[in-house]
Amino acid sequence: MTLAELREAEAPPEIGALYARLREASGVPLVNLIHRHLATMEGVLPWLWAAIRPPLEDGSLAGVRERLAAAIDLPPLAPLPAEAWAAAGLTAEARPAVANLVDVYNRGNLTNLILLTAIRRSLEGTPAEPAPPPPRLAPPAMLPAPPPLPRLGTLPPGLAAQVEALAARHAGTVVPSLYLHLAHWPALPAALPGWAGPLLEPGRIAAARAATLRLAEAEADALRPALAPPGPIPPAHGAAALAVITRFTRAVIPDMVPIGLGLRRLLAPG
The rounded percent of the chain whose pLDDT value lies above 70 is 99
Q: Does residue 84 fall inside a structural domain?
A: yes
- The answer to the question of residue 3 being in a domain is no
Q: Domain range for residue 29?
A: 8-267
Q: Which pLDDT score is estimated for 131?
A: 87
Q: What is the pLDDT of residues 23-33, one digit of tens each?
A: 999 999 999 99
In a domain, 131, yes or no: yes
Q: Place 269 in a pLDDT band, splitting at 50, 70 and 90.
A: confident
The reply to whether 32 falls in a domain is: yes
Looking at residue 135, the DSSP 8-state letter turns out to be: P
**pLDDT tier, 172 (very low <50, low <70, confident <90, very high otherwise):** confident
Mean pLDDT of all residues in 112-128: 97
In a domain, 1, yes or no: no
What span, in angstroms and rounded, lies between the C-alpha atoms of 82 and 143?
Answer: 24
Q: What is the pLDDT of residues 239-250, one digit of tens each?
A: 999 999 999 999
The answer to the question of residue 263 being in a domain is yes
pLDDT given at position 212:
98
Summarize the confidence of residues 116-131 as an average pLDDT: 96
Average pLDDT of the chain is 95
pLDDT, tens digit (0-9, with 9 covering 90-100), for 35-84:
999 999 999 999 999 999 999 999 999 999 999 999 999 999 999 999 99
pTM value is 0.95
pLDDT(1) > 60: no
Domain count, the chain: 1
Distances 132 to 51, 63, 139, 210, 254 between C-alpha atoms, Å: 21, 11, 20, 21, 21
- State the average pLDDT over residues 198-219: 96
Instruction: Answer whether residue 25 is part of any domain.
Output: yes
User: Of the candidates 239, 213, 47, which has an alpha carbon nearest to the alpha carbon of residue 114?
Assistant: 213
In a domain, 177, yes or no: yes
